[in-house]
Amino acid sequence: MNTSSQELSVIILSAGQGKRMFSATPKVLHKLAGKPILQHVIDTVLNLPTKKIYIVYGYEGQLLRKKIISNHSSLNWILQSNQNGTGHAIQKVMEKYEGANNDQILILYGDIPLISIKTLSRLLYFHTGFNISLLTAKIDSPYGYGRILRKDGLIVKIIEQDDVSENHKKIREINTGIMVVNKKKLNTWIHQINNNNAKKEFYLTDIVSIAHHSGHVINSMQSKNTFEIFGINNRLQLMHLERFYQKKQAKKLLLNGLSLADHRRFDLRGTLKHGKDIFIDVNVILEGNIIIGDRVKICNGCKLKNVTINNDVIIYPYSIIENTHLDSNSIIGPFAHIHSNSRISKNVNIGNFVEVKNTIFGKNSKAGHLSYLGDANIGKKVNIGAGAITCNFDGKNKNKTIINNDAFIGANSELIAPIIIGSGATVGAGTTVTKNINNGEKIISRIRQFSILKKNNS
Ligand code: UD1
Ligand code: MG
């Protein structure tokens, strides 16, 4: 397409509820690889030289607008309060459309998330000289899609699933839903459609027979990649597309030198930057932005979200790490939970059933077992005994615990924040610490042991 004389606008139809999802959430907000289906489409479209992007919204519209992220200055939200069909949705856009008659309009469906920029660019290129161009595909199981009816090779009509008769069941060429139409023609044809069909809806696809009857050639291009044009209408289709997407990502990572125990049991719902000689075992989920250095091992069942991991870290099974920076040579887990802007320095050991929240952990420090460390600054070479906890919440506020270098916190101690433990201080096991402790001080607050069996024995 010659964009110098004809400008391009994009319409993304996203007003439907998606009844076949059986959900209170609009279909296009359901997630594929951690991102709303519609967001995939928008992110792709942002790579096109578009003048305006119109998103038709309706069902749970406010929620949709809140969840979708776009910085495109000319994003226009068009409300379709009653979802009377894809044709009706286009009529709503035309009422508000700003632009010239010779604009070209690319129509996309918000429920087709994996359409690629390459295919869209080719479709726009092959549209040159035509008023309407369809992206079609030949697939083995066309059930659910509109079928392309041709006569003497020319497209004459699209027949929707509910209107398909026995004669048409053999047709393998389907309508992907994606098309480019000249603005002036679209505005004319879209007002000629009716709802005399099985669903009593206004079908956008009816403009094809209208165009044919008014003497226009319906141009078409076939997509060879069937996943790219896969429309999501139910949860089974969503799961299939998710697995396809994950397999594709995993293959790319494997070929880039990342070791995965099993691509079928690996999920990346965001972005991953990685170094060399990393091993990721089965059932690991990575979300958000993940950066992993060299020689890192992530064992089975771990979940990581927005995490940076430096070299030579081992994360043992079933650990959950979120919004955290892990420096090199640390050993984490099994069953560790580290989150909320925690920073873990070099050579740290955070072990079994330890929760670390919004905490800075100094170099060479250890919390091997069963602890809660929240809102704390922990210095270097600190040892936190099993069962020790920071009592950071007084019912109203979160308070800080500062544990200085070389401190030893005995097992099962409670540090009542706000509190400062001096460097080299020792807290005896089972102590409830309520006052600050000086450097090098050794404190204990537990009662002496006595036997209740012998009388007169203290
Ligand atoms: C549609 C096409 C079909 C095509 C298939 C490809 C029509 C009539 N049929 O069928 O030919 O093979 O997509 O996946 O277009 N929407 C609105 N307003 C409405 C109705 C729908 O914005 O009133 C939106 C939906 O949110 C969705 C898209 O349009 O994103 C498609 O609607 P859907 O109901 O999924 O159509 P299909 O049955 O898949
Ligand atoms: Mg659909």
Mean pLDDT, the chain cut into blocks of 10 residues (458 residues total)? 70 94 95 97 94 93 88 85 96 95 97 97 97 97 95 97 91 97 98 94 98 98 92 96 97 98 97 98 98 98 98 98 98 98 98 98 98 98 98 97 98 98 98 98 92 67
Phi and psi based region of residue 44 (left: phi greater than 0; alpha: psi -120 to 50; beta: remaining): alpha
C-beta of residue 383 within 8 angstroms of C-beta of residue 421 = no
Among the listed residues 367, 243, 186, 290, the one whose alpha carbon sits nearest the alpha carbon of residue 280: 290
Binding residues for UDP-N-acetyl-alpha-D-glucosamine: 27, 80, 85-86, 109-111, 146, 160, 175, 233, 357, 372, 383
Among the listed residues 101, 33, 87, 35, the one whose alpha carbon sits nearest the alpha carbon of residue 56: 87
**How close is the Cα of 314 to the center of ligand 1, in Å?**
47
The residues annotated with a catalytic role in the active site are 369
The pTM of this model reads 0.91
Q: Kindly give the interhelix angle for 117-126 and 37-45, rounded to the nearest 10 degrees.
A: 50
Name the one residue in this structure whose structure tokens are 């450097």. Answer: 439
Tokens of 401: 């615990």
**H, E, C per residue of 185-226:** HHHHHCCCCCCCCCCCCCCHHHHHHHHHHCCCCCEEEECCCC
For residue 290, give the 3-state DSSP assignment. strand
What pLDDT does 455 receive? 60
Atom of ligand 1 nearest to the CA of 176: 6
What pLDDT does 302 receive? 98
C-beta of residue 298 within 8 angstroms of C-beta of residue 313 = no
Helix (H) or strand (E) holding 37: helix 37-45
Per-residue burial over 64-82, b = 16 or more CB atoms within 10 Å of its CB, e = otherwise: beebbeeeeeebbebebee
| Any atom of ligand 1 within 6 Å of the Cβ of 110 | yes
What pLDDT does 4 receive? 44
**How close is the Cα of 284 to the center of ligand 1, in Å?**
35
Cis amide leading into 334 (omega within 30): yes
CB contact set of 455 (below 8 Å; sequence gap of 6+): none
Atom of ligand 1 nearest to the CA of 26: 26
Tokens of 276: 């060399």
Helix (H) or strand (E) holding 409: strand 408-409
Counting ligand 1 atoms within 8 A of each CB, the residue from 12, 20, 86 with the most, and so the one to mutate, is 86
**How close is the Cα of 80 to the center of ligand 1, in Å?**
14
CB contact set of 37 (below 8 Å; sequence gap of 6+): 27, 28, 29, 30, 31, 110, 111, 113, 232, 238
The domains located in the chain, with CATH, are 3-229 (3.90.550.10), 235-443 (2.160.10.10)
Question: What secondary structure letter does DSSP report for 452?
Answer: S
